[in-house]
Every structure is written in structure tokens, then in C-alpha cells.
Chains A and B, each alone.
Chain A
């Protein structure tokens, strides 16, 4: 069975949307730790968040501008910078065997280790998608002109990433002001476990609402 180029482009778009939701999941975990548990992110954690946001840029551009090799390249570069931050933090904490690590662990690994895993998977994922020639050479112009469920999902994911970035940017102001962040920031009183997930859930609902609205407002390309 051989898929048509259009089908292959659709499949590549689906993978890009799934990648965005995976990144949203990782960011949701860190945002829950910050706003639910009340643990402020360290400077290295913020560098890794920046890498995560950068990793999302490639799929966002693929979905809105069309699938191109250079968009994957941008994600690989972002993953490299983010991975540098997470490796630095891993080294800081494995150098001393008595060091319990920074923050709580999740399924046996600290968040900076999971961040490194995410960046590594991102690089491998981009490399694999770069081997897939048909979507790259199809002349795809993005899904702005193709209304439907996939466009709603894409707009929802893109909006969610942007809302996450806005929330992170705003939360940096009280923690760090306009300058550098403290190495070991003091904790804040969070919204609690449930409150943190409710906040993340509300961001998801808002993103979905914006995604549906954008899909309805933007007509199909003639």
C-alpha cells in the first residue's frame, strides 16, 4: 500500500500536533510543580523551559507555514541548547553522591533528567522526520487553509504553547525581576495539588475554545 502525498502530509502534520501535545504535557508537569506545589524554578530550569519552548517552534512553523527541513533544524538547535542546560544540572547533582538532587523525582528521575530525555527524543524525532522526504518536498503551505478537526487540534496546541510561554514569562517577573534569577529560589505557597491541575486544565479549555473560534473565523483557502 502506498500513501498519496496528501495523506503523507496529513500524517506528518498529525505527528507534529502529537509532538506539540507531548511538549505541553512536559511543560504542564513543571508548571504544576511551580503553581500547584509552589516550587519556584531554578535558573537552569528556566533555561530548560526555554529549550522546550524552542523545541515547539519547529512543529508550530510546520503546521502554520508548511513542512520544511529548516523548521526541524530549528527544533534540533533548541533541543541542543535545552539539553546543555539539563546536562549541566545533571552533572551538578551527580558529582556528589550525597546530593539528593534538585526538587522531587518523578518515576525515579528528577525533572532535569526527564528534560534531557525529552530533548534527546526531540532530536531523534526530528532526524527521523527529516528522513521522510515526501512531506518536505510536497510544497505544503500549512493547514491555515484546510478547516476541520486537524486545524482545531493544531490551533489548540499552538495556543496552549503560547499561553504556557506567557504564564512562564509573567511568573519570572516576581521571582527574578528584570535581571538574573537567584540560584536557589525560595518556595511560594502554591494552589495545591488539585488547584495546580485545575489551572492547567483551564489553560487547556481556553486553548481549545480559542482553537475552535480561530477555525470558524478563518475560511478555507480558495
Chain B
């Protein structure tokens, strides 16, 4: 049987490296060939570090040959959203404003991955400053969706989602301020994990809105996400994934996608199938009401615009032409928000957080929509603008609860449909467990026809 190594999970690769069926060097060579063939149509990378990756792969191969791998990520290729520092490479944020800002040292998350033996493959496309995109007026083209390159791959961790889904690397590190690690997993398939606020270090990560910013993990499968989370936190979640959904109490927040921002019929039907599947596995699924989605979205927007303008206001005032038009559109409102607005948004944030915390008195995990529709055409600005807000990811940036988005099925148009789940604060274990239960019911991670 021929193995498609580019779809292999992290444990499958580690096993193959140990028993000699593959090696970090051979695997990297395979991936670089795949990238060479497919990258011209996907634009996942801003910078590919073939030489650095080759050196790291050789060092990893030597450790395996000596029977001394560093751990589950040794020899595993991982790529980094280009708002996160990788020593020796510019952290461009996909912007003309930062093409020369070479990082002197690795961000904390990158350093942890390197210490675990991971191979840092390169820097990945993003929306400009993790907010303005997909845009065609920037120094690099926008990433495209591997399921259909005419479509948006989700963002702002767009290269991360596209590259993971395309089989360019096993995992990517992204960021998530209003859903940016979960949107790509919703649009391009795979898994997007936003851990609890400040669970992963933001040291060396260019900020968008510091009180909302999270570092996120993107992978093709849940087990791979758990392994990365464990390596980055020193925790042990991966061991718990096989326990299924039995006994879990799941609160389905239907009003998000049935009343607040109505989802298309295929997305709504997919969410129902997920709920039925989890109930069939022994979970108790009940309907749950939270504050309206508009409240979360507005609080997120006001905080993001205020904090983002505090960072970019000087450049916006003095050289606005250097930004993408979409970035100006996203951040200019921050110039007109007052301290009174910020205080009111912060007050509502507290109330919304209390409401979500209270919901967990009755359930272990929430099940919600992620995107209300599958991805739209990448070159249709009106559709991009229309669908940008049709999502239920902002609640958990506002509250800081962990959340995970993943594939819920395929649309009749052949694009991923998505779901989101969220547990109590710091309970990534339950989050990953319920995600693994749905993934198993789905037949494992699904891949685009590439």
C-alpha cells in the first residue's frame, strides 16, 4: 500500500521515523517537492526556509539514527504565521510597512517548537497585520483555498490554514483575535485551536489587539493539535482523546446560527448531524442560550479597533497609503472611538464573560456554528465583506475561553462546512476530547483532492 506521507499524522510520522520507513530528511524532501508543485496556485508561504529546514531535518535524522529523538515533534515540519518572530527572517505581517523588520530571536512558541526538534519550514501568508484581507494590494498575494483555489481559505491565518490543508506541513502556528486561527480551519478544513487566553505565550508575536490576541494551533487532525498543545504547555492532553463523548453534557447554542446570524441550510444541517452523532455516542445534548451574538461581535469589534488603532494610528495618520485598503477600513474606526466607548465595551465584556461562565454550570462544552456559510470567492469583495461578520467565533475572544473549530462536513459545492466547540476556561482536555469524538465519527481528518 502506498502511503500519502503528506497526509500522515504526527504520530504516524514519528513511528515511521523510528522504524526507518521514512526519515525527517526524506519526509522534508517529499514536502518540498509538493510545495514546489502546488505553492504557485496556493500562495501559503511568504518565505520558505528550505536550507534551514534541511539542516534541522538532518540533525533530527541523526537523533533518530542514534535512537534518541527529542519527543513527539522531533523531525515534524511546522510553519509559522508571519506575525510571529522567527530569528533571521523579517516579521512582515504581510505588510509593505515591515518588509525589513528582521527578527533577532525566535518568538517563545517557535523556540519551544525548535527545542522539541520540530523543523521550522517558513513564514506564512496572513491578512495584513492579521486584519486586512484577503487583499491584492500588498507585497505578497493572498493564500487560496486548497479545496478550490478560486475561494478564500479563511483568515487571517490564511497561509496556515491553506498549507496545513494542502499537506505542505503537519501543523502551523497562527493567531486569533476575532477567530483568525479558527476561520481557516472552518474554510479550508482541519482543526483550529484557540487555547484559553494567555495559555500560550505571545512573546515575539506582533500584536493586533492585546486583550483579545491569542496564539493558535492549526493541524489536520485533533490528535496532532493535542500533541502541539502538550509540547507548548507541558501538559498531557493527547493521552485522553480516545475516551469519546459518552457522559459529556453538551450545550448547543442554536440561536447563534438560527436566529442571530442565520446560517445557510447546509451548515445548519451539518451542525444537527454533529449533535445527533455526539448524542448517539452517549453525550447529553441540550439547547443552551447565551447573550446575542451581536453583543459579542460588537464588543470584540470596538476593543479590536481601539487597541489596533493604538498600535497603528501613527502610521495610519502619516503614511496611510502603505496599508491595504482593507486594513484601513478595519482599523480607521479606532480613530473615532472614545474612552467612553472603550469603557462601555469593557463593561459589557465583563457581563458577557459572566454569562458564558454561568452556562458551564449546566454543561461541559458548548457546540456552536463557526462560519455561517462555506468559503466565498476570494476575488469577490462584496461577498468577502458580507461573509466576514457571519461567524460565531468572537464570543470566545471576548471571554477568553478556549475554542476549537473544525470540519463538520462538505457542502454540495465541495467546500468544508464547520463547527465550533468551547469548554470551561483552561479545560482544553474536554475540548479536544469532544473534537476527537466527532472526528472519529466523521471517519478521521478529511483532505482536499490534491
Are both chains from one complex? no
